[in-house]
Structure 1
Amino acid sequence: MQITHLGHSCVLIETADQRVLVDPGDFSTAWRGLTDLDAVLVTHQHPDHADPTHLPELLADNPRAMVAVEHTVADIVDLPDDVRRLGPDEIIDLGSLQVNTIGGQHAVIHRDYPRIGNVGFVFRSEGEPSVLHPGDCLDAVSEGIDIALIPAFGPWSATRETIDFTRQVGAPQGFLIHEGLLNDRGHALIVRHITALTRTTLVDVRDTRPWQP
């Protein structure tokens, strides 16, 4: 398996026969122009996870890619007619790679905002490490995760919640996502807290070079 962090919450997960892009949002640009994708997955409707301007262009360049999104995304972003609308507890079968959806709701930003949908993705492939991409949800986890993608900062998060999420997942390794609002000092601060208070070893993948766990 090879994982490439393409900025903020966007990652490219590659196995021997699958190239899967997750959350191509407007806080990052490194995913634009990608081709030969087998699937594009989106956790929820916010534009930093589903770029309404450039995501349709990406899909036009990858006409054979399976598109599966949290069910409300297709109401907001121009997506193909055969898009798969997702809820929690579903299975996406990509041949040798299986993706399970977990969660269901976005984290609370403020009590006066209605909560929107959010599905996290658990990637499993025989002989490969399991990977959790939670989107913007910290209250749904899965057992047996080897690599956790950990949301570092957002208008809905506190450091204590990030630490507790990391502890609950209990993955041996991971890296920070949703870091688009952090400068280098802020990123280093979150890394320091997670390293001090959890058993998860963090790797720095911000250079967008492929990482092989």
Structure 2
Amino acid sequence: MPVRITHFGHSCVLLETGTARLLLDPGVWSHGFEDLRDLDAVLITHRHGDHLDPDRLGPLLAANPDAELITDPGSADEVARFDLHASVMRPGDAREVAGTALHAVGGVHAEIHPEVEVPPNVGYLVDHGAFYHPGDSLHVPEQAVDVLGLPTGAPWLKVSEAVEFFRAVAPRVAVPIHELTLSREGIDSALHRFDSLAPAGARLVVLPLADTTEV
């Protein structure tokens, strides 16, 4: 089943599955999600600021009183400092939100440098693989993935690694996310490589900011 996706910059996307409205990774470099309403859940992959902005998360949840906050274990500790309660998902956990299935996978943040400590990272498979958000990870799930949120640039990422991740997951569609560590020229260069080196049968769809696209 197609999903409707709205990209708010960097790692933040709104998914509309037909039964649920899910916001993933509203971080400090993402904008435009603050006015969203009727959310069923907000999902956080890990506690880094470009994925989790507690200052805006509190007001967002207050404006969406029926939305559940779902996080990895490390982010649960972080949001608790702001008097926010989270339901924790760990790798292997499965649950349902508003009729949409969620599966947590991975668990390990990609290495930035051997001397840099990294937090837990949970990737979310939404609606049995209709969409996969890996957070800061290149974990390849066992389940088939229809639409992949494809990391584009990061301190932990080379374009060759992103391409091999794209090929290993082999989705029908990849939507580039996690792009704001790069210049415009760097983003365009990565997108060119993704498009030219895509796995057979897959296509790259670049989402316009803050516009909803069905894929």
Normalising by structure 2, we get a TM-score of: 0.92
8 Å Cα contact 2:140/2:169 also seen in 1 = no
RMSD of the TM alignment (CA)? 1.5
CA distance in 2, matches of 1:61, 1:74: 20
Aligned twin of 2:9: 7
Query: Would you say how many aligned residue pairs link Structure 1 and Structure 2?
Result: 209
Amino acid at match of 1:90: D
Off by >4 Å, runs of 4+ in structure 1 = none
* Deviations, residues 51-77 of structure 1 (Å, cap 9, x unaligned): 021111111111111111011112222
8 Å Cα contact 2:152/2:178 also seen in 1 = yes
Aligned twin of 1:18: 20
CA distance in 1, matches of 2:197, 2:93: 32
Aligned twin of 1:184: 184
The answer to which of 134-143 and 34-43 deviates more is 134-143
Aligned twin of 2:42: 40
CA distance in 2, matches of 1:190, 1:160: 9
Question: How far has the Cα of 1:160 moved from its partner?
Answer: 1.1
8 Å Cα contact 1:119/1:134 also seen in 2 = yes
Q: How does 1:191-210 map to 2 (within 5 A)?
A: 191-199=191-199, 200-210=202-212
Q: Which runs of 5+ in 1 are unaligned?
A: none
Normalising by structure 1, we get a TM-score of: 0.93
CA distance in 2, matches of 1:178, 1:79: 28
CA distance in 2, matches of 1:52, 1:46: 11
Overall identity of the aligned pairs, in %: 34
Please say if 1:84 is aligned against 2:87.
yes
CA distance in 2, matches of 1:30, 1:190: 25
Amino acid at match of 2:84: P
Please say if 1:110 is aligned against 2:113.
yes
Amino acid at match of 2:50: D
Amino acid at match of 1:186: G
Question: How far has the Cα of 1:6 moved from its partner?
Answer: 1.1
**Secondary structure, aligned partner of 1:8:** coil
Q: Which runs of 5+ in 2 are unaligned?
A: none
8 Å Cα contact 1:7/1:206 also seen in 2 = no
**Secondary structure, aligned partner of 1:185:** helix
Please say if 1:123 is aligned against 2:97.
no
CA distance in 1, matches of 2:172, 2:88: 32
Q: Given the superposition, is the C-alpha separation of residues 7 and 142 from structure 1 closer, same or farther in structure 2, using an over 3 Å criterion? A: farther
CA distance in 1, matches of 2:114, 2:140: 19
CA distance in 1, matches of 2:83, 2:113: 29
Question: How far has the Cα of 1:197 moved from its partner?
Answer: 1.5
Q: How does 1:34-183 map to 2 (within 5 A)?
A: 34-77=36-79, 78-81=82-85, 83-124=86-127, 130-183=130-183
